[in-house]
Structure 1
Amino acid sequence: MALLKRELYRRVSGPEITHADRCTLVFDADSKSLYVEREVAHLDAGFGGTVDFQTATMDIADYLKQGGQTSGHRELWRLLRSLFREDANPDEAISE
């Protein structure tokens, strides 16, 4: 499975109780799907510490409709604007 990923947002807080949150824009080249993947990890570093790790995927529109505008939202909007900018030449060939 070929996955192309671009990180949109990452936040880590800690040190005794560490919380990590990361959002990634993912394109699955096999299924031709584009979505946002959110990974959340919570580590309690105390005696007998516990780790909770969750991953969820969501449609881009659902991600953008979430409350609050994180830096991940702003990065995704920036990427979308660069894809659809009006001064782009639609006849320009894409070389690979």
Structure 2
Amino acid sequence: MALLKRELYRQVKGPEVTHADRCTLVFDTDAKNLYVEREVAHCDAGAAGSIEMQTATMDIADYLKQGGQTAGHRELWRLLRTLFKETGDTEGLID
């Protein structure tokens, strides 16, 4: 399975208790599926270095409907606008 990935957002907080959050736009070339993958990691250096990781996938529309406008939302909107940018070129359109 080949996955094409483009990072939308990454945030890392804290030196002793580290919290990392990353969102990635993913295209599964085999399944022909486009979705957003969110990975959240929480590492507590004081508790014997315990690490808790969660990964979730969601439909692009569901991701954009989430509350707030994060840097990930803004990057995805930018990519979508670029992808669907009208150029005024009608070549190749079916009549």
* 2-structure distance, mates of 1:71, 1:13: 15
Q: Which residue of 1 aligns with 2:22?
A: 22
Q: CA deviation at 1:88?
A: 6.0
Secondary structure of the residue aligned to 2:72 is helix
Q: Structure 1 residue 86 and structure 2 residue 71: aligned? A: no
Name the TM-score, length of structure 2 as normaliser.
0.91
Q: Which residue of 2 aligns with 1:50?
A: 50
Secondary structure of the residue aligned to 1:31 is coil
Q: Which residue of 1 aligns with 2:76?
A: 76
Going from structure 1 to structure 2, the CA distance change for 1:88 and 1:20 (only over 3 Å counts) comes to: farther
In structure 1, stretches of 5+ residues that fail to align are: none
Name the TM-score, length of structure 1 as normaliser.
0.90
RMSD: 1.4
Aligned amino acid, residue 69 of structure 1: Q
Q: CA deviation at 1:89?
A: 3.6
Q: Which residue of 1 aligns with 2:32?
A: 32
Going from structure 1 to structure 2, the CA distance change for 1:88 and 1:50 (only over 3 Å counts) comes to: farther
Q: What number of residue pairs does the alignment pair up?
A: 92
4+ long deviations beyond 6 Å? none
Going from structure 1 to structure 2, the CA distance change for 1:6 and 1:90 (only over 3 Å counts) comes to: farther
